[in-house]
Amino acid sequence: MARTVPRRPSALSPTDSHRPSALFRDWSAYSSLSLPIKNIRTYYKTKAPICQEGNREFLKNLLQCIRICDIMERDQAHQTKQSDVRLLCMRMQMITKTTRKIKNKPTVESAASYVLDGVPINYTLQYKSVKNFNLRVRDGRSFTLSVPHRTPQRLIQRFLDDHVDFLRKALHSQNEHQRPWHRSLYEQALSDGTELCLLDQRVLLHVVSDNVKNKKPALKVTRASEDTEIWQITVGNCKSEQERDQIIQKLVISEEIRRLEQAVTACIPDIAQKVMLAAENLGISEEMSADYPYMKFVTKPTAIRFRDMRSRWGSCTVQKGHICINSRLIFAPANCLRYVLGHELCHFIYPNHSASFYRLLNAAIPDAMEARNILQGK
pLDDT at 198: 87
Average pLDDT for the chain: 76
**The residue type at 302:** T
Split at pLDDT 50, 70, 90, the class of 139 is: low
For residue 83, pLDDT over 70 is answered with: no
| The 144-148 sheet, strands edge to edge | 108-116, 119-128, 144-148, 134-136
pLDDT at 189: 77
Angle at 372 between CA 370 and CA 377, to 5 degrees: 95
For residue 43, pLDDT over 70 is answered with: no
Residues of the chain with CATH 3.30.2010.10: 260-375
258-274 pLDDT, tens digit per residue, is: 999 999 999 999 999 99
321-336 pLDDT, tens digit per residue, is: 999 999 999 988 999 9
Domain 260-375, CATH homologous superfamily name and number: Metalloproteases ("zincins"), catalytic domain (3.30.2010.10)
For residue 50, pLDDT over 60 is answered with: no
HEC per residue, 96-149: HHHHHHHHCCCCEEEEEEEEECCEEEEEEEEEECCCCCEEECCCCCCCEEEEEC
Angle at 266 between CA 260 and CA 271, to 5 degrees: 105
d(CA 15, CA 43): 19
| Rounded (10°) CA dihedral 72, 76, 78, 79 | 90
pLDDT at 35: 44
Answer with the residue of higher pLDDT: 354 or 136. 354
pLDDT at 339: 95
pTM as predicted: 0.59
232-254 pLDDT, tens digit per residue, is: 888 877 777 788 888 888 888 89
pLDDT at 342: 95
Stretch 124-152: mean pLDDT: 83
Answer with the residue of higher pLDDT: 70 or 204. 204
340-372 pLDDT, tens digit per residue, is: 999 999 999 999 999 999 999 999 999 999 999
pLDDT at 304: 93
